[in-house]
Every structure is written in C-alpha cells, then in structure tokens.
Amino acid sequence: MTPTLTPTATMAEVEQTLKTIDDVFYTYVLAALLVAVGLYLTVRSRGVQFRHFGTMLRSVAVSRSGAQGGISSFQAFAVGLAARVGIGNVAGVALAVVAGGPGALFWMWVVAVIGMATSFIESTLAQLFKERGRDFTFRGGPAYYIKNGLGSRTWGAVFAVLCIASVGVTVVMVQTNALAGVLNATVPQVAPWMVGVALVLLTAPVVLGGLRSVARVTEWMAPIMALVYVLVTLVVIVLNLGQVPEVLSSVLRGAFGVDEALFGTAGGAVAAVLNGVRRGLFSNEAGLGTVPNAAGTATVSHPVRQGLIQGFGVFIDTILVCTATGMLILLATDTYQPGREDLVGAVLTQQAVVEHLGAWTTWPMVVLIFVLVFSTVLGCYSYSQVNVNYLGGQLRAEQAFGVLLTAAAFAGTVLSLPIVWALTDIALGLLGLLNLVVIVRLAPWAVGALRDFDAQLRAGKDPVFVGHSNPHLPGDVLEGIWEAPSGQDATAPATEGGRA
C-alpha cells in the first residue's frame, strides 16, 4: 500500500528541498563567484580599498554637506549601514563561529577586505547611471545601471521585481520573525504580537514619509547603534585584556586547521572557510546589489565619493561590528566552546554579554536587537522604494508599498516562516548573480570614473565629475545628471553647477 503524504509531510519535504538548494547555491556557487569577482575588481581598481582608505575616512567626515535639498552622501551611507548592520551581525556571526569555529572570523575579515572593492564598484555605478526622481532627489541602483548602462529596461525590471519581493517583503518578515523569537525566548512576557505592534507604530510614520524621512532617521540611528555595540565590546575586551592574545591566536589557528580542538560543529578548516566566507559575504552585502539602491540616491560632486563611502560601510559592518560580536562570544569561555550546539544565533551572543557584564544587560540587549531589526526594516524600505519608482510607481504606489512593508513587518512576528527563510535566501542569491554579471560588464565605467577622480586629486583639485566627453569614460552618461556648467568646457572639471 502506497503511503499517503500529509500536508505537514509535504511541507517538510519542500522545506528540506529548498534548504538543500539554498545551502549548495550559497556555500559553493554564489560565495565562490562573489570572492572571484571581488578579487577581479580589486585588481581592476588597483586595490582601491587600500589606496583610498584614508580618502574613505575623509569622505565620511565631510559627507553631511552639499546635498542642496536632496539626500546627502552621509544619509545614503547611513541607510546602507542601517540595512547592513542588522540581526545578522548578532546571530550570523554566532552561527559562523559555532559551525566553523573561531577561524570563521578570520575568513569573514578576508572577504570583507575583498568585498570593499565590489561595494565600491557597484555603488559608483549606481551614481554614474542614476536618474532624477519626481521629488528632485535621485534614484539609482542595479535596475538603473542595467537600463542606462547596458540598455536593457527588461532586465532592469526583472531585478526591480526580485528586489521588491525579496528585500521589501520577505527579508522584512524573516528579520522581524527572528526578532520576535529572540525576545520571546529571552523575555517570555513579551508576546510576538506585542513586538509586531511596536514595530508597526515605529515603522509606519517613517516609511510613509518617503525616502527623505527614512534618511533623516537612519542618519543618526544607524551610526549610534553601531557605535554603542562596538563600545560594549571594547568594555568587554578591557575587562578581559589578558585573554585577548589567546583568542586572536585561536582565530588564526582555527582558520588554517592547526588545532582540532577549535573545530566547530561542521568540523575542520574547510568548515571555517565556508562558514566565514558565507556569513561574511551576506552580512556586508557586497555584490548582492542591495546597497547600490541607497548609494544612487545621494547628491554628491563625484560618483567615486559615494563609492568610497559605501566601501567603507563594508569595513564598519564586518571589521568592526562582526568582529565585535565575535570577540564577545570567543571571550565568553563559560558560554561558548567550539562544537557546542545548545546555544546558537542571537541567544548565544546575548548570553555571552550576560556572562561578561551581568544579568542586568538582558533588557539593554533586547532593546539593541530591536533597534537593529528596526533599522534594517527602514533600509529595506529604501532599497525597495527605489525599485518601485523604477517600475513607474509614483506617490500612491510608494505609499501603498509603505503599507505593504509595514504589514510584512507585523506578519513576520506572528507567523512561522521556515520556507520563507529559504525562499528569501534563494531570491537574494539570484539578485546577487544578476548583479555580479552586470558589474563585471560595466566595470570599465567605474574604473574610468576612478581614474578621473585620481587625476583631479593629483592636480590638487577637489574632484568634481563631468559625464560627457570625459576621456576617462567609455562613453557619455545620461543627459541632465552629470553636466558641465554652461559655458564651461565639458572636458574640464565642473564647478558647483555641475554637481549632481
């Protein structure tokens, strides 16, 4: 007699199939491609992340000015930072060091350094091929550089639809779902629906105000959030200063499989590499095509400025914030041991903080995790709204999407979403594949803009970009965006009037 499959059994099979596809696709195909493209772009840009690291710092310092009523470079950077620095920095790093051991942290550092070049290229392209929106702010990102750089409106629309569905709906749901689970496990008195209501009350007024509203909130919240988290880690490091050399040694020994005692649950040096690379790539988002949606909204004098700032965002996300999580966990010798499986994800990170600083930190950590998710939701809105505009959506469509995203934030807190988690990963992976192919093809444009930037620096000028008859570019960019002022030679650097 043939056994009858129940709906529950069928869903379990679907979930397992999706998980298998997800694991193979992310761990081997996409991770390998992201690293390969990152190395290629590092070479093409002559190590821009190393040569211009000081310029990145200076660009962030002066990026609050010059928006002329639009979205400033710093605001666009903060939106990208808000989306990057989310619960993945708390839970994702914990998962990496549990499965791959302390050595996974080393490989997260490696891919962050590589990913800085990828993020620079894709964010510079977002600036080069951006368009002016209805409210005189800019819209840019993969959909726009696919259309204006490669001349394919159709593939731009494919990217836009995938981005809206994955980033704007399912990513929001899985983020808030993880938040509700962590809060309920930590503080049982907080029911999931309460978390959902709080998120709705906070999110709706901001997202219904549009991109400018999101930018105003994230420009102060995202940096403060990251700073507080890193400061907590610095306190822990100071309190455990004597253990730091041994922890750093365990990271290096685990990275190359020198000490079997440091292997994670997956076992071996290969597990350290795979888990570190995978978690690192999808924490900093370099190459996935998400952050350029924020980068393209900025008003700057030169596309490279925003590319450098967003490249620095990868450094903050992984080298600072993810390292902070890793150190919190690895210094908690009572809470964490390599191979231990009973504590995972954000709960492990939270328990590590409790071990270091005491039980009083439970509620502050709850608040911090809540803010991390809230900021990610705002970042997801910003990315998605850019793509809503690409598909022709005007004010009513933007407001309708704001309502949809707010509803998704609530739904995520009260639903069980194992299949949505897998589908989200696969959809983001498809975004990444499409984006990587495009940025490799369009790399000469970003590299040309970088040559223009370097040439102006060598001439002692404050770089200002002109996108027409520019000898460093393969051709001209969209009219009306990067124009020389009236009466000025288009081959000469533009002044204030030529700013985007």
CATH number at residue 162: 1.20.1740
| C-alpha to C-alpha distance for 299 and 439, rounded to whole angstroms | 22
Closest among 345, 351, 365, 112 to 232, alpha carbons compared: 365
- Residue 275: what pLDDT? 75
Cα angle 21, 22, 24; round to 5: 65
- 8 in a structural domain: no
| C-alpha to C-alpha distance for 82 and 72, rounded to whole angstroms | 15
| C-alpha to C-alpha distance for 498 and 451, rounded to whole angstroms | 18
Residues whose CB is less than 8 angstroms from the CB of residue 95 and which lie 6 or more positions away in sequence, other chains included:
275, 279, 344, 345
The answer to whether residues 394 and 488 belong to one domain is no
The answer to whether residues 237 and 301 belong to one domain is yes
The answer to whether residues 313 and 362 belong to one domain is yes
Please give the backbone phi and psi of residue 363, each rounded to the nearest 5 degrees, phi first. -70, -40
- 443 in a structural domain: yes
- Residue 489: what pLDDT? 45
The answer to whether residues 355 and 500 belong to one domain is no
Looking only at Cα atoms, what is the longest distance across the chain?
86
> pLDDT digit string (tens) for 292-327?
988 888 888 899 999 999 999 899 888 888 888 888
The answer to whether residues 476 and 495 belong to one domain is yes
The answer to whether residues 38 and 85 belong to one domain is yes
- 247 in a structural domain: yes
The answer to whether residues 192 and 282 belong to one domain is yes
**pTM (2 d.p.):** 0.85
- 252 in a structural domain: yes
Q: Which domain holds residue 96?
A: 17-463
Q: Which residues of the chain have pLDDT under 70?
A: 1-9, 11, 63-70, 134-136, 210-212, 215, 219, 258-269, 337-346, 393, 395, 416-419, 484-500
The answer to whether residues 385 and 485 belong to one domain is no
- 9 in a structural domain: no
The answer to whether residues 459 and 469 belong to one domain is no
- Residue 64: what pLDDT? 59
- 2 in a structural domain: no
Q: How many domains does the chain have?
A: 2
| C-alpha to C-alpha distance for 286 and 160, rounded to whole angstroms | 18
The answer to whether residues 179 and 30 belong to one domain is yes
The answer to whether residues 164 and 297 belong to one domain is yes
Instruction: State in Å, rounded, how far the first CA of the chain is from the last one.
Output: 71
- 269 in a structural domain: yes
From the number of C-beta atoms within 10 Å of its C-beta (0-12, 13-18, 19+), residue 91 rates as buried
- 385 in a structural domain: yes
Closest among 309, 291, 310, 322 to 432, alpha carbons compared: 291
The answer to whether residues 474 and 453 belong to one domain is no
CA atoms within 13 Å, Cβ hemisphere of 136: 4
- Which tokens in the block code for residue 464? 């200002």
| C-alpha to C-alpha distance for 240 and 231, rounded to whole angstroms | 14
> pLDDT digit string (tens) for 178-224?
788 777 777 777 777 788 888 888 887 777 776 667 767 776 777 77
- Residue 157: what pLDDT? 92
DSSP string, 367-399: HHHHHHHHHHHHHHHHHHHHHHHHTT--HHHHH
